Amino acid sequence: MCISVPGRFHGFDLARELGKKGLLYCLVTSYPFSKTIAYGFNKKSVKTIISKELIIRGWHKLFGYYPDWFWINEWYDKCASFLMPMDADIYVLWAGFALHSIKKIKRKNPNAKIVLERGSTHIEEQNILLQSTGLKRSILNSIISKEKNEYDLVDIISVPSTFAANSYFCRGFSISKVKINPYGVDLNLFSPVEKINKNTDFIVGYVGTISKQKNCEGLIRSVGILVNKGYSVKLLIAGGIDKNSFPTDYLSKYSFIEYLGNVPQNKLPKVYQRMDVFVLNSIQDGFGMVLLQAMAAGICTIATSNTGGPDIIQNDLNGYIIPINNDIVLSEKLEQLLLDRKKCKNMGVEARKSAINGFSWEEYGIRAIKEYNALI
């Protein structure tokens, strides 16, 4: 099998699981060889397009957000089509970065099967939801057109959640075309430990990009409602700020917020250890791997219906599913947990049980391989 992923995403985890079974033929990525070593990849099987990473990371460092230039997608796609071997049985390609590769594969290796990895909803649905947040910039029409062409040409579109899959089904895609495979989590890295909280504050947590898409402002307002009621509540936030959609000085306006900045993944477990409850308040999120990280760490979790939450959270057992854009409902759920700390802790225990029951990366890989075998 050949994988082409413009970055890392969950592509490295998938490639690692395929490699364990002797099924990985080639990995094309924009990450340098040095970043693939930790995953145990053979250097001979890795092809890199590091120019893409240097350009977008350089832009982010200068301006605080990642560019959405169409030519970057085209550049990576064309380079990948040149680098990847044309004699694999199955190709797993990333949506938006695959059209030229797909066309070349179909021309050179017409019997090969092609899987398109799409981490979010149908791109038109994603664009609608992003525009609803009031973002000044929406997805470029050229990128939308490219992805839609990719959807038509591949054998399978792999998505991580029922929420994402439904956006395809309502547009006429068949169940045989769109497959759901929820992401995994490193159960060894993210595991329950004694909570680190030296005071009596109730700690609400969030990990991820701070943006309008994640509705971090709504989360802040919901916690603010509890603070105004006189509760001792803190909001712990870790992640980078999307300067294109979120005011950089917004977090400093609230004394109940503790902002940690970007935290490397291997240090995130200590962040989760401090939380009583984790919240993913996204307006649109194909899955949200932080959900499984928090659950694996034994944290009660609240997520909106527009995430992978409905696939892994059972209301009132291991967390709560809430509607999008509803500060009142979120604050009510947080207040319930604040007033019943024992229930909150027990729900965290159940969250861990849910995470270890089918959501390791190994099990993610097993599900993926099963789908690939069905193709051939």
Question: Which pLDDT band, with edges at 50, 70 and 90, does 52 fall under?
Answer: very high
Question: Which pLDDT band, with edges at 50, 70 and 90, does 186 fall under?
Answer: very high
Domain that holds residue 271: 202-356
pLDDT digits (tens, 9 = 90+) for 57-111: 999 888 877 888 999 999 999 999 999 999 999 999 999 999 999 999 999 999 9
Q: Answer yes or no: are the C-beta atoms of 140 and 287 closer than 8 Å.
A: no
In this prediction, residue 258 carries a pLDDT of 97
The answer as to whether 189 is a domain residue is no
Residue type, 81: S
State the Cα–Cα distance between residues 217 and 284, nearest whole angstrom.
14
pLDDT digits (tens, 9 = 90+) for 308-323: 999 999 999 999 999 9
The answer as to whether 195 is a domain residue is no
The answer as to whether 197 is a domain residue is no
- DSSP code string of 311-357: HH--BTTTEEEE-TT-HHHHHHHHHHHHH-HHHHHHHHHHHHHHHHT
227 and 317 together in one domain: yes
Residue type, 218: G
Residue type, 345: K
Q: Answer yes or no: are the C-beta atoms of 209 and 281 closer than 8 Å.
A: no
237 and 276 together in one domain: yes
- Dihedral sign from CA coordinates of 234, 237, 243, 246: negative
State the Cα–Cα distance between residues 292 and 187, nearest whole angstrom.
9
Q: Per mean pLDDT, which range of 40-49, 86-95, 176-185 is the poorest?
A: 40-49
Greater model confidence, 39 or 7: 7
151 and 76 together in one domain: yes
Instruction: State the chain's mean pLDDT as an integer.
Output: 95
pLDDT digits (tens, 9 = 90+) for 282-301: 999 999 999 999 999 999 99
The answer as to whether 369 is a domain residue is yes
CB neighbours of residue 15 within 10 Å:
28
pLDDT mean over 217-230: 97
Q: Per mean pLDDT, which range of 34-43, 285-294, 364-373 is the poorest?
A: 34-43
| Helices 99-108/141-153 angle, 10° precision | 30
351 and 302 together in one domain: yes
Q: Give the rounded percent of residues in the chain with a pLDDT score beyond 70.
A: 99
92 and 157 together in one domain: yes
In this prediction, residue 197 carries a pLDDT of 57
pLDDT mean over 103-129: 97
Q: Give the rounded percent of residues in the chain with a pLDDT score beyond 90.
A: 88
21 and 65 together in one domain: yes
Residue 104 φ/ψ, nearest 5 degrees: -70, -40
Q: Answer yes or no: are the C-beta atoms of 354 and 296 closer than 8 Å.
A: no
The answer as to whether 277 is a domain residue is yes
Whether 199 has a pLDDT exceeding 70, the answer reads no
Among 207, 209, 233, smallest CA distance to 221 is for 233
The answer as to whether 144 is a domain residue is yes
- Two structure tokens written together for 124: 């038109």
Highest-confidence range of 52-61, 190-199, 342-351, by mean pLDDT? 342-351
In this prediction, residue 53 carries a pLDDT of 94
In this prediction, residue 196 carries a pLDDT of 61
Question: Which pLDDT band, with edges at 50, 70 and 90, does 247 fall under?
Answer: confident
The answer as to whether 192 is a domain residue is no
| Residue 127, CA distances (Å) to 49, 120, 133, 140, 286 in order | 28, 11, 10, 9, 13
The answer as to whether 191 is a domain residue is no
State the Cα–Cα distance between residues 304 and 315, nearest whole angstrom.
12
CATH code, 321: 3.40.50.2000
Per the document, the length of the chain is 376
Among 188, 221, 113, smallest CA distance to 352 is for 188
What total of structural domains would you count in the chain?
2
247 and 124 together in one domain: no
Residue 95 φ/ψ, nearest 5 degrees: -55, 140
- Two structure tokens written together for 158: 């792999």
Neighbour-count burial for 63-91, b at 16+ CB within 10 Å, e otherwise: eebeeeeeebbbbbbbbbbeebeeebebb
Question: Which pLDDT band, with edges at 50, 70 and 90, does 243 fall under?
Answer: confident
84 and 179 together in one domain: yes
In this prediction, residue 65 carries a pLDDT of 77
339 and 368 together in one domain: no
367 and 342 together in one domain: no
State the Cα–Cα distance between residues 241 and 257, nearest whole angstrom.
14
End-to-end CA distance of the chain: 12
In this prediction, residue 38 carries a pLDDT of 83
180 and 220 together in one domain: no
Residue 257 φ/ψ, nearest 5 degrees: -100, 135
In this prediction, residue 349 carries a pLDDT of 97
pLDDT mean over 50-58: 94
Sheet holding 178-180, edge to edge: 46-48, 26-29, 2-5, 90-94, 113-117, 156-159, 178-180
371 and 288 together in one domain: no
